[in-house]
Amino acid sequence: MAAEAPNKLHRRLCQELAKQLRDHRVLLVFDPGQQMRPFLDDVASTQPSAGEPGALNLGEQQPRWLVAGSSFYQLRSQLEPFVAKDLPDPLLIYLPDRQEAEGRDVLLELIRAGACFDIQLVNRARVYLREVLEPDKVQQLLQRPDLTYRDVALALEQSGDGGFSQLKALFQKELQRNTSPENAELARFWLASDALDAAITTKGLQNELQDLLHSRWGLGFPEDTSLADWRQRAQRALLLHEFLHDWHGDELTSFARQSLPVGKAAEENGLADVQGLRRSHADVYIAIASRIEAELELPELISGERPGVLGSIDTFPCEEQFLLRSVDAFIAKGEVAKAKELVAARNNSFWLVGQPTDEQQSKRRLQWALASTAAYLGLALNQAQAQLPKAAAPVEAWLAYQAEVAHHVDGLQRHLEQQVAELSASEVEIAQGLEQLRGRYEALLEQQTQRFTDALQQAGWLIPGAFPQTRTWAERVQPGAGRAVVFWVDALRYEMGATLHERFSGWSREQLTDLKLEIAQAALPSITPVGMAALLPGAERSFAVEDVIGSPCSVVDGVPVGWSEGKAKRLAHLQQRVPTAVVISLVDLIRSKEAVLIEKLSGSGPVVVTSVGIDNAGERDTDENLANVRTDMQRELDTIEDAVRRLSALPLEQPLERFVITADHGFLHLPLGREPAMRIDPPDGKLFKLERRCWLGHPSAVKAPCVEIQPAALGYGREGLTVVVPRSSGVLKAGGSLCYHHGGSSIQELLIPLLSFRCPPAAGAEGVGTASATGSTGKSKKQKPWPGTLVEKVTNRILMVPIELTVDLLNQGHTRQTVLAAYDCKTQELVATPIQAIGAELDRDTNRLTLTPGQAATIGLMLPAEVSAKKLYLELRDAATDLVLFKSPDLAVDLIG
């Protein structure tokens, strides 16, 4: 039965019963008035039944117990199996409504070998009742003829709630607190720290501490041991209690004799106090849990268990590590939905986010972020495989497949490999799952490329519904109101365009409108000299790849514009066709001062921004290169967004309003070099250009793994060159990277993004610049700069925010209560609140921060696992008046994992 709230008498009875059982092994309790029965019910873990003993929890002792029936002879026979040994297990025999004299003749041997417990309830209770009740009330209570332990317990509990506590007074004095602590706070502080141990021992307050801990957790501690020993026993009992409470597997017999909280109140208190210990004393909890885990040998104990047995609370660090291995096993077996579910359930695990500044937890978050991406990639692969267009499907079916399904796989694969490259090979803990996902991705690429190439060939190498790359300038850049900016991004794959589209969708309507993402068909072969030339003005009239004086050359509207070294010729062609056009590289745009940019862009013609960072990064990727080139690719996307923000904010006489972002081609990118089986012999014939994914010239024989595309089929005319590409995702035997390549006819190479939108004209540099920072509806409002250096982009769920208020005449260095929060720039909805404060005090119940001017503080906020915000801003408000003290600029959100 569940106990009422324990009290001093309860603790004392537990101690005395435990001592006598330890000394005598067998203890008989004759109880003529059943005064002790309520107490025994309170401490009973299980009740006796059908001749089988139950179990008692007396703190340091957990004896079995039996309740005698009406016959002493039957009792003696029943006890024979339990006492017929030199050293019986502790056993308490309760004899209700019986005097010792009645059973002495029959049970004499048992009485002499063991002991009888003298209840003396009145005498025992009087000592404790006098501490909380007036003498006449004590006497009145003890004179009741039907007095039981329950009556005394209720009197102690009800009268002692507001009684004086020397222990609480000591806590308040030693820690210089203004108020007396609650029992829960005092118990948790003692559990985490030995700061008060010396004072408790000096003042002789061990008994009061024992009373407090027993009333809180139902645990007893040996009086002849130190407070440090008590603390370790309590820590072990409480953490093990939480672990077992959340355990869903078979019974762990290894812990059968461990002393644990018993009774509803004690169990609930124990669970709450362990949670409080993690929340308020994270660093201490880490050390405690690691020590107990090693003592109990838990990693070995749970190593063979299934994931579901561990419930939802990670009491010990080995649980998080075990579950990550389970995620790896699920992914390796193709059970990615289970892997995703497991990852989602552990997003808020203490061992990942409980101590954001802990180096070990930072490393663990990297592993789980990788596992999360892997699980999502597995699901995306399932969907892409299930919705793969049939072999007989028309080529236009691939447009919807790319827009709705396929690009998600490519984006997740790039993201996954970026995360993998941040770790060494030996550090990756989902190695089996990673290998399986890589194999599945390559297999999907092979299927996609073969079917798409076949469908494209059947359609005559033209995709109905896809925007022709050669018409980009004429139909997307040249027409329309407002001055245009076009980004020519080398190797901007469609999934990257979709990423930019998603980012720009997070801008407010005051910043950006008419956002549109289209699929364009790149010119073949999908390499830079062809794709960049196809973007030039005049390409809509005619475009070809021809033999010009024995070398391949792109020809735009009858004008040769060169090949590999033809960038200068292409730009000269642009200037000849559009004299007012201004060309600037992305790097120069970002590095130039505003005054320089204003002067350079002062005309009225279109602005062309060239970007080569993605392709340069990809070309550097080889099996011998350990650089994380995908990080450089991602940085280029970040820079493009920053460039748009900067251009749209320039106070030009002819403001930049229309934006177009597109590419020359896409690419295939794998983490490891293509195997020899994927390397194809090039065709025979007159060769003009050979790359990993294409061959140009006049072939005499094209072997089966490749497909020949006649120049007439591509509109290249009689002087055009024949293009040969692999029908699969394999590569030709040529020079260049075996990891990164393009030139072929896969959807990743040929279907490119065409992103367009408008940015309203800037009213002035200040007006546009502050619109983002204030999240306003167009009106500029000056804000104080944030009191600390913020990150430019949020890449982790744990956002560490620096704050240092200055000391001034108004605050004179006095502390100030504030409220910090992060909000979605687009919806203005609350995104995150603080979970940790360094250099400040955080009240978790009210989210109030107490900041001291002149003292640097770092506040940790945790974003939700499925955060939808593309940008967020921070607000620091006064807790009393709710006035906004500081508001941050917009922070882009691009979570890794």
Burial of 734 (0-12, 13-18, 19+ CB in 10 A): middle
Q: What is the pLDDT of residue 539?
A: 97
Longest dimension (CA), the chain: 126
Q: What is the pLDDT of residue 504?
A: 94
**pLDDT > 80? residue 795:** yes
Distance (Å, rounded) from C-alpha 707 to C-alpha 699? Answer: 11
Distances (CA, A) of 449 to 231, 386, 442, 518: 65, 16, 11, 21
Residues 608, 609, 610: CA angle, nearest 5 degrees: 115
**pLDDT > 80? residue 203:** no
Q: How confident is the model at residue 178 (pLDDT cuts 50, 70, 90)?
A: low
Q: What is the pLDDT of residue 164?
A: 40
Q: Which residues contact 349 (CB under 8 A, 6 or more apart)?
A: 314, 320
pLDDT digits (tens, 9 = 90+) for 838-879: 888 888 777 889 998 888 899 999 888 778 888 999 999 888
**pLDDT > 70? residue 621:** yes
Distance (Å, rounded) from C-alpha 70 to C-alpha 89? Answer: 24
Distances (CA, A) of 433 to 28, 310, 373, 400: 62, 21, 11, 29
3-state SS of 802-857?
Answer: EECCCCCCCCCCCCEEEEEEEEECCCCCEEECEEEEECCEEECCCCEEEECCCCCE
Yes or no: say if 110 and 88 are a contact pair by the CB < 8 Å rule.
no
Task: Give yes or no for a cis peptide into 6 (omega within 30° of 0).
Answer: no
pLDDT digits (tens, 9 = 90+) for 487-497: 999 999 999 99
Q: Are strands 740-741 and 668-669 parallel, antiparallel or unpaired?
A: antiparallel
Residue 832 zone, left/alpha/beta (φ > 0; ψ -120 to 50; rest):
beta
Q: What is the pLDDT of residue 9?
A: 85
pLDDT higher at 630 or 260: 630
Q: Which of 457-461, 617-621, 655-659 has the lowest average pLDDT?
A: 617-621
Q: Which residues contact 847 (CB under 8 A, 6 or more apart)?
A: 819, 820, 821, 833, 834
pLDDT higher at 120 or 724: 724
Kindly state the average pLDDT of the residues 680-695: 94
Q: Are strands 607-611 and 115-116 parallel, antiparallel or unpaired?
A: unpaired
Q: Which residues contact 315 (CB under 8 A, 6 or more apart)?
A: 239, 242, 243, 246, 274, 289
pLDDT higher at 759 or 781: 759
* Highest-scoring range by mean pLDDT, 137-151, 535-549, 558-572: 535-549
Q: How large a percentage of the chain has pLDDT more than 70?
A: 93
DSSP per position, 166-198: HHHHHHHHHTT-SSPPPHHHHHHHHHH--TTHH
Distance (Å, rounded) from C-alpha 380 to C-alpha 387? Answer: 11
Distance (Å, rounded) from C-alpha 739 to C-alpha 620? Answer: 9
Find, among 775, 770, 795, the residue nearest to 873 by Cα.
775
Q: What is the pLDDT of residue 49?
A: 87
Q: Which of 10-14, 155-159, 599-603, 672-676 has the lowest average pLDDT?
A: 155-159
Burial of 632 (0-12, 13-18, 19+ CB in 10 A): middle
Residue 49 is classified by DSSP as: B
Kindly state the average pLDDT of the residues 346-355: 84
**pLDDT > 70? residue 14:** yes
Q: Which of 41-45, 374-378, 865-869 has the lowest average pLDDT?
A: 865-869
Kindly state the average pLDDT of the residues 370-398: 97
Yes or no: say if 180 and 147 are a contact pair by the CB < 8 Å rule.
no
**pLDDT > 60? residue 2:** no
**pLDDT > 60? residue 442:** yes
pLDDT digits (tens, 9 = 90+) for 506-533: 898 889 999 999 999 999 999 999 999 9
Q: Torsion over CA of 648, 650, 655 and 659, rounded to 10 degrees?
A: -30
Q: What is the pTM of this model?
A: 0.71
Kindly state the average pLDDT of the residues 10-37: 91
Kindly state the average pLDDT of the residues 764-779: 39
* Highest-scoring range by mean pLDDT, 171-185, 267-281, 743-757: 743-757
pLDDT digits (tens, 9 = 90+) for 394-413: 999 999 999 999 999 999 99
Yes or no: say if 538 and 573 are a contact pair by the CB < 8 Å rule.
yes
Q: What is the pLDDT of residue 783?
A: 57
Distance (Å, rounded) from C-alpha 760 to C-alpha 623? Answer: 46
pLDDT digits (tens, 9 = 90+) for 260-291: 787 888 899 999 999 999 988 888 999 999 99
Distance (Å, rounded) from C-alpha 305 to C-alpha 645? Answer: 52
Find, among 52, 729, 130, 774, the residue nearest to 444 by Cα.
729
**pLDDT > 50? residue 628:** yes
pLDDT digits (tens, 9 = 90+) for 360-373: 888 899 999 999 99
Q: What is the pLDDT of residue 166?
A: 61
pLDDT digits (tens, 9 = 90+) for 539-551: 999 999 999 999 9
Kindly state the average pLDDT of the residues 618-646: 89
**pLDDT > 60? residue 414:** yes
DSSP per position, 521-576: EPPSS-SHHHHHHHTSTTTTT-EEEEEETTEEEEEETTEE--STT-HHHHHHHHHH
pLDDT digits (tens, 9 = 90+) for 808-826: 767 777 889 899 999 988 8
Residue 118 is classified by DSSP as: -
**pLDDT > 80? residue 141:** no
Kindly state the average pLDDT of the residues 134-148: 76
Kindly state the average pLDDT of the residues 178-189: 82
pLDDT higher at 675 or 238: 238
